[in-house]
Structure 1
Amino acid sequence: MAPALTDALPTAPHNLTSSVPVDAFPDGLKTTGQHPPLYDHIRPFDRFPRQITGPTVWKPEEFRDNPEKWTHVFSPEQIEELSTAADAFLTSKTPLTGISKSNFQLPKLADYLETLRRDLVDGKGFILFKGFPVEKWGNHKSAVAYMGLGTYLGYFVSQNSRGHVLGHVKDLGEDSTQIDKVRIYRTNARQFFHADDSDIVGLLCIAKALEGGESDIVSSHHVYNTLAVERPDVLRTLTEPIWYFDRKGETSKGQDEYIRTSVVYLERGENGRVYTKWDPYYVRSLTRFSNAGIIPPLSAAQQEALHVLEATCNQHSLHMILDVGDIQFLANSHILHARTSYKDHAPPAPRRHLMRLWLATPENEGGWKLPFWDSNEKKRGGIQVDDQPPVAPLDAE
């Protein structure tokens, strides 16, 4: 593969202006947020590999009957180390938004978590932890220990316009058919295969649904290889920068309400890896602009690609169920994930509740070289609206 035209990136916008106030952003860094790609780094289809090889390519049958390959049960010693660090953090009275490796020290777990981080970013891309004692610890201490664990895998980025760096996947009774306004994680509707706006996503199960709400994941690199053989026309369509993604009103002053990009693109530089950035809800919700002639409607080829991609993901997915105290971490670079619809228990039983983390892994710390201006930023990606500071609520709001 020929090298990219240039590997240089423009100066980050926040480096062109004054520094971020530490009283609002404890580490002095703000989530960079959503933005269009650098279009001169978007490569044509003939520059893409014919086939992807390596540990990021896997089939569900490799793992379905071998849970030891993708699950890790916390040992009593590891739980004790997490508990001690969480208690020390709570005693310090530091806000959750200020948690970091420096004030959440895990001397024994640190090496294991660094190995895990590499496997998430460059390997199979997922893990399921079991045995996190959420019922014993309660939501506050569980959130501290969970976020403390997350500091060893990446940097917290905001997940919505409210600045949530600790998110909550919970049905709040919002109308899932209003896809131009409503984020699906705040409903009980099915989530189709997608990737979140971060390098790594974490989900900690606090409470399960009465039925449904189960997880499916797939190697997008295996999906790519399948499409390259069976539907190269679909794959070509996915690599073209003709896709518009909705921002559902979560925009800073002066920003567009949508982003034009491709679904499948390459890292910058020579022999760049294939990255998939996709969420059908954000593509289907733009009719308010296409009906007004502001952006083009989905073409027949795009509609076909949308359906073929979902069907191929379903065909090659690995199913898993998150029990209370389970933590799932996924890489968004080469894993797509989905969720079945669900039904909650009747009150007063708790509703299904997952605590969510979005974590960034900048390229100078081993992250992928993405065709975006913020690829070198610690808090790349996420959703940032103006100067909304980070917040870490202990429940959905």
Structure 2
Amino acid sequence: MVAPQSINILVGEGNGVRTVTCQDLAFVSEETVAADSNMFDRAAGESFAWRANDIKPGDWRVTVPEDVLAELDGLARALSHYEGPIEELTPASFELSATAELMARVGDRIDRGIGFALLDCLPIERWDEHTSKAVAFLVTSLLGPVVMQKWGGTRVYDVRDTGAAMGHGVRRSITNLAQEFHTDGSWLTETPEIVAMTCLRQAASGGASRVANLANVHNILRARHGELVPE
């Protein structure tokens, strides 16, 4: 039986404001932490603080048009014999004008829409695994620089059930356990702005991705526990 698999990619280097993370705290004063804090100090607007019942598939689903599919098939053919590191590939080395236009629309959905988008869909069934990862990396790179998500510098991370049991030093992402809500790359000096995932093999059951709206959580926190949120 082939295990379901996806890859995880983090994009961007924050919003230009230094975020103090746990590994920094031993080296800075409380005053520095307060000065560097970028906590949102007002209620988020309704367009951002949505609930599940407020949105519809058209708000987040982006259909991949035929010209982009043709462009990506051409890209896959060009990459079919590439055996080098995926992270060394750059979009500028390929003709991706239609894909760049599509990803600009995706970026707009993320920045000015509801904050997430689903590409429907990349034809990965036509490509081998290495090519699929390379295509996903290049497509994601059109949103911004791809940053590391492990101390060793890994920028494309496999999420798959390896049969490992949960224990010390074992990531949930290599087990068959569900993931709790979390922030990817929260340990980085500047938290990535976008998390991109590409499904390479869908699970026979389970494996659904959940999305939580932190803007709505922020508003609820202000309403119920205002003492925890600065005015």
The 2-side partners of 1:103 and 1:143 are apart by: 17
The reply to whether residue 62 of structure 1 matches residue 50 of structure 2 is: no
CA separation of 1:43 and 1:160: change in aligned 2, threshold 3 A: closer
Paired AA for residue 176 in structure 2: N
For residues 247-272 of structure 1, give each alpha carbon's deviation from its aligned partner in whole angstroms, at most 9, with x where no partner exists: xxxxxxxxxxxxxxxxxxx9xxxxxx
| Residue ranges of structure 2 left out of the alignment (5+ in a row) | 1-15, 26-31, 186-191
Asked whether 1:102 is paired with 2:92, we answer yes
Q: C-alpha distance in 2, partners of 1:171/1:59?
A: 31
Partner residue of 1:186? 174
Which secondary structure state, in structure 1, belongs to the residue aligned with residue 164 of structure 2? coil
Task: Identify the residue that residue 209 of structure 2 maps to in structure 1.
Answer: 215
Distance 2:85 2:131 in 1: 13
8 A Cα contact 2:59 2:114, kept in partner: no
Structure 1 segments unaligned to the other structure (5+ residues): 1-7, 11-32, 240-265, 267-397
Distance 1:188 1:93 in 2: 30
Shift of 1:85: 2.4
Q: Distance in 2 between matches of 1:36 and 1:55?
A: 34
**Between the two proteins, what is the percent identity of the paired residues?**
23
| Alignment correspondent of 1:137 | 127
TM-score (norm 2): 0.75
> What is the identity, as a one-letter code, of the residue corresponding to 2:130?
H
Output the amino acid matched with 1:58: W
Secondary structure in 2 aligned to 1:129? strand
Q: What code does the residue aligned with 2:114 have? A: K
Inter-CA distance 116–131: structure 2 relative to 1 (3 Å threshold): closer
TM-score (norm 1): 0.45
Report 1:193-212 matches (<5 A).
Answer: 193-197=181-185, 198-212=192-206
User: 1:89–1:135: structure 2 CA closer, same or farther, 3 Å change rule?
Assistant: closer
Distance 1:162 1:211 in 2: 32
Q: Say which SS state the counterpart of residue 116 (structure 1) adopts.
A: helix
Q: Is contact 2:164-2:175 (8 Å) kept?
A: yes
Aligned counterparts of 1:155 and 1:54: Cα–Cα separation in 2: 30
Residues 181 and 104 of structure 1: CA distance in aligned 2, closer, same or farther (over 3 Å): same
* Match in the other structure for 1:48: 41
Distance 1:226-1:100 versus aligned 2 partners, 3 A rule: same
| DSSP 3-state at the match of 1:201 | strand
Instruction: Please say which structure displays the higher CA radius of gyration.
Output: 1
Take 1:193 and 1:157, find their aligned partners in 2: how far apart are those partners? 21
> Do structure 1's residue 150 and structure 2's residue 150 form an aligned pair?
no
Count of aligned residue pairs for this structure pair: 202
Check whether the contact 2:76–2:127 (CA below 8 A) recurs between aligned residues.
no
Question: Contact 1:89 / 1:103 at 8 angstroms: preserved in 2?
Answer: no
Separation in 2 of the partners of 1:203 and 1:218?
A: 16
Deviations 1:15-48 (A, max 9, x none): xxxxxxxxxxxxxxxxxx9843751424598x82
Partner of 1:346: none
Deviation of 1:149 (Å): 0.4
1:125–1:80: structure 2 CA closer, same or farther, 3 Å change rule? same
RMSD over aligned Cα atoms: 3.0
Higher relative contact order, structure no. (Cα contacts within 8 Å, ≥ 6 residues apart): 2
Which amino acid letter does the alignment assign opposite residue 51 of structure 2? K
What corresponds to 1:114 in structure 2?
104
Q: Report the counterpart of residue 219 of structure 2 in structure 1.
A: 225
Which is strand-richer, 1 or 2? 1
Residue aligning to 1:280: none
